[in-house]
Structure 1
Amino acid sequence: MSDIVDQINDIHREVGMRPVAEGEARTVLLRRTYDATAEDVWDACTDPERIRRWFLPVSGEFELGGHYRLEGNASGEILRCEPPKLLKVSWLFGENPGFSEVEVRLTPEGDERTVFELEHVAVVPPEMWDQFGPGAVGVGWDLSVLGLGLHLRGGSIGDPSEWEASDEAREFMARSSEAWGAAYGASGAPADVVAAAVQATTAFYAPPKPAQ
């Protein structure tokens, strides 16, 4: 098994719910420890030039109250910025995005290690959650956490479009889907609901290859 697929086990995952003004929000939490200082991880998460190397090209006003836009993905406002420990942004996607926020928290662990936490809190349409559960966003965040880790080590996956079509990427996404299913089950979801969500999420991210 490749080092990249092995990194599935480096991430701790939690699934929950939280009341917000807009209704009941779903939460997904990822936690991973990186062999890097908090300052370096913070810089990788906030410097536009570095963000594009492991995530996506980003534009905007990078200050408290400013707005950002990730190419082909989310946009929003910078709600909190407390370097090098906390970044909170609204995370809006589509024409009617509803409530959605992402918070990144960094905690030093010794001199050269940092505990990275990412929590995504969103009011999710019931039909979306019923079909995919937490894996709909969880697998995407796992890919991002993987990319950040490779970047901090001085590497990368190369061309994302090419890599995502590889057997390695398919294995990573399938195992990520299963891991989010386990977290979903640990949150109290029934086994049959978890199984259906994992199947739908895996089919979305890593559909079966066409017959030769």
Structure 2
Amino acid sequence: MTTQTRILGTLRTADGKGVVRVQDRFDGTVDDLWSALTDPVRLSRWLGEFDGDLWLGGTFRARFFASEWQGTGRVDVCEPPHRLAVTTRDAEGAEEHVIEATLAADGDGTVVTFEERGVPVGLLPAYGAGVQIHLEDLGAHLAGRERCDARARWRELHPAYAAAAEPSASA
């Protein structure tokens, strides 16, 4: 029997670069989710280590747990408690991406959408799996659970995202 892996994201291209969009609904208020996305202490419980300012115009250094990404960032948009957009640059300075988080109230919960733009097209499935893991780790944090085993979860998710990207991710 074959089991289906539920993917929360979509993959596409825009202007020759990849775009990953992952969305899920969480119990809790928009304000609580905003805090989980902008408070370095809370971020360190689910996403990674942050040093710097996560408000408009602020810069930061970060290391993400699940993907092992390291680099710097700049906060380009900060509209509490609904929208945060940052431009990141990896530690080697080779890749620049825009990561945008939007939050919308949905009854007694909140819908969170992560969109990462500027991804190398050939790596869209890998990024899709990675961004979903980050969102799942946010959910674990909110529920008082530990982060997942990122490598094992990536191995589960990557084939589903690779299938979603075939024959190509289109705009």
Determine if the TM-score, normalized by the shorter chain, exceeds 0.5: yes
Q: How many residues align?
A: 161
| 1:31 aligned partner | 23
The 8 Å contact of residues 72 and 91 in structure 2, kept in 1 or not, is answered as no
The 8 Å contact of residues 13 and 183 in structure 1, kept in 2 or not, is answered as no
Whole-Å separation in 1 of the counterparts to 2:104 and 2:92: 35
Matched to 2:168, the amino acid is A
State the Cα deviation string for residues 28-70 of structure 1 (Å, max 9, x = none): 1101111121111111010000000111110112221110111
Matched to 1:68, the amino acid is F
TM-score (norm 2): 0.84
Whole-Å separation in 1 of the counterparts to 2:139 and 2:119: 28
The 8 Å contact of residues 90 and 96 in structure 2, kept in 1 or not, is answered as no
The 8 Å contact of residues 48 and 58 in structure 1, kept in 2 or not, is answered as yes
The 8 Å contact of residues 68 and 76 in structure 1, kept in 2 or not, is answered as yes
The 8 Å contact of residues 102 and 121 in structure 1, kept in 2 or not, is answered as yes
Query: Which stretch shows the higher mean deviation, 24-33 or 173-182?
Result: 173-182
- Residues 4-153 of structure 1: matches in 2 within 5 Å? 9=6, 11-19=7-15, 24-71=16-63, 73-110=70-107, 112-122=108-118, 124=120, 129-130=121-122, 133-153=123-143
**1:123, distance to aligned residue in structure 2 (A):** 5.2
Cα-Cα RMSD? 2.2
| 1:174 aligned partner | 155
| 2:66 aligned partner | none
State the Cα deviation string for residues 93-147 of structure 1 (Å, max 9, x = none): 032334411000111101x2111100000152xxxx44xx312222221221111
Q: Which has the larger radius of gyration?
A: 1
**1:16, distance to aligned residue in structure 2 (A):** 1.1
| 1:189 aligned partner | 168
| Identical positions, percent | 27
Please give the secondary structure, in 1, of the residue aligned with 2:78: strand
Whole-Å separation in 2 of the counterparts to 1:53 and 1:123: 25
TM-score (norm 1): 0.69
Moved over 4 A (4+): none
The 8 Å contact of residues 38 and 106 in structure 1, kept in 2 or not, is answered as yes
Whole-Å separation in 2 of the counterparts to 1:96 and 1:57: 19
**1:178, distance to aligned residue in structure 2 (A):** 1.9
**1:155, distance to aligned residue in structure 2 (A):** 1.6
Q: 1:180 to 1:38 in 2, by over 3 A?
A: same
| Higher share in strand | 2
| Higher share in helix | 1
Gaps of 5+ in 2: 64-68
